[in-house]
Structure 1
């Protein structure tokens, strides 16, 4: 886009999101920009070994970025780290140096393609420095400049979500799965090989039996997201014979939790409005006493959503699967699904020979539901 800035402010992010994603399902809560995480999709797809606490510190820092052209040195109060970790408050100060050492050693592995089309594997350090000074009660940290394309220069293919949701999740795997699904919320589904899923979550050497990984990772994340997040998922395992090869996630909006989040944001806004009102009243009294004519300043609160920048596709089979419960999906074999879809598609094409593909998809979806109910 001509005349576009080389970086995006929070307001730019809000405007771009509203313009580009207006047709998608999204969470728009009017949250302040320091409560919203913005990450490039390449970073969300990256592999890392951050613990739950380290992930929480990172996203708190990301949310507080002002999208300026440079990374600032950010301060993280020790008491906030205690609040978001399993470390006892009395011990977190003694653990501060270990936290610094751990954070500055963390890396992310990003797979992408070079301009020549070759597969490329790059490892980045997340932080260039991390410092703890006794008596100050804060950890100071700064993102590595190599992280700029993934956190500051966000022009396209980035994902937004509320930091509040991320901090609710307890398992490191739940947080990683949440980000991956949030990236694809507009498409309502995500499909990947079991091998890729293991790589992204660092599970190559864990839970060698798929059934064990399903129980300890996938099902645990499904339960956590259903209870705590603004989205949840159902899924289908694609097999070759008895071997699990791929997993298809279906992403759903979690209306009950979303309502809770709206109420939290509303309470936060009311609290901020009260603070601003009191500040304005004090300023007015001061102006009257000093005959000052300096103008009031009101903080801007951009409306930010929480989803990725990729558009939806109409797929009758996908819409059908989104309507099913996890139990129904688990009981449905791949061959049975294909048979229902083929019959429904053929009937839709027969009844609507001149229809465009999107209409056929909706007709196929409707017919699949009828065939499912008539089983």
Structure 2
């Protein structure tokens, strides 16, 4: 990726974060400020080289945090202390297929020398598989989008959804969601977590990010068990970001285009990871003789606003879907599954509007 010149929205590569999907899925306890410093450093990596000792001007950190300018040295010491203590917890599988849990330190060193005006830091070499030499199963996003987000939970949800942007949805158990965001001991009532974490992130992404989401809570009885996110392109904000990128290019007087390899890497990155998919959903962009599965119910839900999804009970959704599917299958006995799904989607919309 070292020769990549243009990536997400045509931005220069040093304005784009590239992370392995295993790292996106990892659990961590980084604060908003620590996450911002980390992504600023990741974007500046030359991703086919060794980890260098990187310098981050303290004024850049002050710009993205609440550092008191009168006590920069003390604040810089605190930043260094916190960065070298931070870890990420990654769940994956060994070559033998066994579940594996590994904790990594993010940084091997962090230094601030009074009067120099910069923090010097270096990533731990164990982070190499997740940040360097990325060929597949990685995710790209703009640094500027990440820095717009205020809540640490919004940034984590944003990364998870960017990983699945090519598939337009993400489904996970409430237990897994809590684990990934470090919420096992917080907001014990789901309604509280929904209000303080999910709804806050939904509002932030809609206002500030290139994607936003709607969601549906899957329940067993009255207990929330899973959450289904539907990922949408945020066209208004995307246009703002494109204008920012264009202004940056004009100020730098650069006109370099993407190479074919860069475009391919971007497609692979946004395609997601086959381990993230539901069993019936192939990876977009993967080599296959079949296209991705088309789900009429999911397409119907993707078309609804959050208010409409919230007003729709599980039993009502199942009733509309079953009625539409049965009618479509009866009217089109020889149609292939994708055609049936699209027709089911259309009929569900009609039944919803006529209810």
After TM superposition, the score normalised by the length of structure 1 is 0.82
Q: Find 1:65's aligned residue among 25, 35, 45.
A: 45
Q: What is the aligned residue count?
A: 355
Superimposed CA distance per residue, residues 167-191 of structure 1 (whole angstroms, 9 cap, x where no aligned partner): 0000000000000011111111111
1:68 CA displacement? 2.4
CA contact 1:159–1:309 (8 Å) conserved in 2: no
5+ residue gaps, structure 1, are: 1-20
Alignment correspondent of 1:104: 84
* Cα deviation, residue 94, structure 1: 2.4
Shift in alpha-carbon separation, 1:109–1:325, aligned structure 2, 3 A: same
TM-score scaled by length of structure 2: 0.87
- Would the alpha carbon gap of residues 130 and 294 (structure 1) be closer, same or farther in structure 2, given more than 3 Å must change? closer
Aligned counterpart in structure 1 of residue 132 of structure 2, from 137, 152, 175: 152
Between 265-274 and 118-127, report the one with greater CA deviation: 265-274
Aligned-residue offset at 1:345: 1.3
**1:317 is the counterpart of 2:297:** yes
Return the offset for 1:155: 1.7
Assess, with a 3 A threshold, how the Cα gap between structure 1 residues 354 and 205 changes in structure 2: closer, same or farther: same
- CA deviations 1:174-232 (Å, max 9, x no partner) are 00000001111111111111110000000000011111111100000000000000000
From the superposition, tell whether residues 291 and 322 of structure 1 become closer, same or farther in structure 2 (CA, over 3 Å).
closer
Which structure exhibits the higher relative contact order, with contacts defined as CA atoms closer than 8 Å and separated by 6 or more residues? 1
Q: Which residue of 2 aligns with 1:45?
A: 25
Deviation (angstroms), 1:89: 2.6
* Distance of aligned partners of 1:307 and 1:174 in 2 relative to their CA distance in 1, 3 Å threshold: farther
Change (3 A) 1:364 1:277: closer
Superposed structure 1 runs of 4+ greater than 3 Å apart? 21-28, 274-313
Distance 1:303 1:170, change over 3 A: farther
Q: Give the whole-Å Cα distance in 2 for the aligned partners of 1:253 and 1:287.
A: 16
Instruction: Check whether the contact 2:17–2:143 (CA below 8 A) recurs between aligned residues.
Output: yes
RMSD: 10.9
Q: Do the aligned partners of residues 301 and 27 (structure 1) sit closer, same or farther apart at CA in structure 2, a change above 3 Å counting?
A: farther
Call closer, same or farther: CA 1:226–1:312 in 2, change over 3 Å: farther
Q: 1:33 to 1:310 in 2, by over 3 A?
A: farther
Please state how far the C-alpha of 1:91 moved relative to its aligned partner.
2.6
Aligned CA distance change for structure 1 residues 280 and 187 (closer, same or farther; 3 Å): closer
Q: Which runs of 5+ in 2 are unaligned?
A: none
Aligned-residue offset at 1:304: 18
Q: Helix, strand or coil for the counterpart of 1:369?
A: helix
Hey, what's the Cα distance between the residues in 2 that align with 1:138 and 1:252? 39
Moved more, 90-99 or 113-122: 90-99
Report if the CA contact (8 A) 1:174-1:224 is conserved. Answer: yes
Give SS of 2:3's match: coil
Q: Which has the larger radius of gyration?
A: 1
